[in-house]
Amino acid sequence: MNHSARTQRPEQAAAGRWTGGAADETDLGHARAAVGTLLENLGLAAQLYAVEPREGQWVVIVECATGTGWQRVDLHAGPELLAAIRGDRDARAALLAQWRAHLADCIYD
């Protein structure tokens, strides 16, 4: 699992253009940066996450603190993940709403 710290700034992630084919290390780096930014925007109190390319989508594995411990949630996103970080407000809003619903038991700041 990766800690929520990012090694790329969001504007660097904006350069990513993953189209759902085989992801390379650059695509994965962009996706990780995008996920880190989106999770930061959610305001989770404590989280760990990993990003994996799987079957033409990104699988985002999030572990977050809950009132009784930790939970693991697998989230899915396609190319809209990188579109969201490039400034596509609709894609960003849709992902945040979807993820917030799946992470409802997490503790927020």
Spatial strand order in the sheet of 69-77: 2-3, 47-54, 57-66, 69-77
Q: What pLDDT, on the 0 to 100 scale, is given for residue 14? A: 35
Alpha carbon distances (Å) from 31 to 91, 97, 107:
14, 18, 24
Task: Report the alpha-carbon angle 27-29-34, nearest 5.
Answer: 95
pLDDT digits (tens, 9 = 90+) for 61-103: 999 999 999 999 999 988 888 888 788 999 999 999 999 999 9
Q: What pLDDT, on the 0 to 100 scale, is given for residue 73? A: 96
- Phi and psi at residue 46, to the nearest 5°: -150, 135
Q: What pLDDT, on the 0 to 100 scale, is given for residue 22? A: 56
pLDDT digits (tens, 9 = 90+) for 5-60: 333 333 333 333 344 555 677 888 988 988 999 999 999 999 999 999 988 889 99
Rounded to an integer, what distance in angstroms lies between the CA atom of residue 53 and that of residue 42? 22
Q: What pLDDT, on the 0 to 100 scale, is given for residue 13? A: 35
Task: Report the alpha-carbon angle 46-76-29, nearest 5.
Answer: 70
